[in-house]
């Protein structure tokens, strides 16, 4: 019976969705910003796999279904920019400048650290798109010879850190302009940060969603040049 469940492609899918729902519930019940739903979901999945000695390959039969959704999500990002076109026109130059600064600082810091730590080219290529959303980051990493699993992990860490600490950083650096705050969050922590930006304010969320799309495009072009 158990083997039949594990062999089913729905096992990984159900486990992933259940862990995510539990993570959201725990975060809402506690109200603690450190208890990010994604972090909780990853931890719960790891605990289940280790506790019941379930091979990753068995889990990934269903997890791969979630991965298949990354392709359509990439196309939806373009639709997001279209829906926010009025805001983009109003703040075009601040958005462009903020996204460019975010992309350059992200890519430059990865290149510098990888060279200082003598990382090989595959690891460097895997980490370069860490600050863009998973759908775009995986494509960039694959085209550049990176390891996609490392890219996904780096994107999750960047998103979780941004989502958790964005309000703190805004207060620490006295960022009070909602446009600047939204652009910064979207440029550094993509979709996960955008979800947090939407909680902070409507304008922050809108600017963050625009920023994550434009940063994805800029990062794709910059990595091609490198």
Query: Are 13 and 66 a contacting pair, CB within 8 Å?
Result: yes
Domain coordinates of the chain in residue numbers?
2-68, 71-225
CA distance 137 to 103: 13
SS3 39: helix
Query: Are 70 and 134 a contacting pair, CB within 8 Å?
Result: yes
Each of the 226 residues of the chain gets a pLDDT tens digit; together they read: 566 566 666 777 888 888 889 988 888 888 776 677 878 888 888 888 888 888 877 777 766 677 667 666 666 666 667 777 787 788 888 888 989 998 999 899 999 999 998 888 888 888 988 888 887 888 888 888 888 888 888 888 888 888 888 888 888 888 888 888 888 888 888 877 887 787 788 788 888 888 888 888 888 888 877 7
């Amino acid at each position: 019976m158990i083997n039949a469940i594990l062999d089913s492609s729905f096992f990984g899918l159900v486990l992933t969705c259940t862990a995510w729902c539990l993570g959201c519930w725990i975060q809402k019940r506690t109200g603690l910003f450190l208890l990010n739903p994604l972090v909780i979901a990853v931890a719960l999945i790891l605990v289940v796999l280790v506790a019941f000695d379930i091979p990753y390959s068995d889990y990934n039969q269903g997890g791969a279904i979630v991965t298949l959704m990354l392709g359509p999500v990439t196309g939806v990002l373009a639709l997001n920019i279209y829906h926010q076109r009025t805001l983009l026109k109003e703040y075009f130059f601040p958005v462009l400048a903020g996204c460019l600064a975010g992309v350059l600082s992200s890519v430059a810091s990865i290149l510098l650290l990888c060279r200082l730590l003598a990382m090989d080219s595959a690891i460097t290529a895997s980490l370069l798109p860490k600050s863009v959303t998973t759908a775009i980051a995986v494509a960039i990493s694959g085209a550049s010879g990176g390891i996609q699993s490392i890219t996904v992990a780096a994107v999750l860490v960047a998103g979780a850190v941004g989502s958790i600490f964005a309000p703190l950083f805004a207060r620490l650096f006295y960022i009070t302009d909602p446009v600047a705050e939204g652009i910064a969050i979207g440029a550094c922590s993509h979709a996960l940060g955008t979800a947090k930006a939407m909680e902070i304010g409507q304008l922050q969320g809108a600017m963050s969603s625009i920023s994550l799309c434009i940063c994805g495009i800029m990062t794709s072009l910059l990595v091609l040049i490198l």
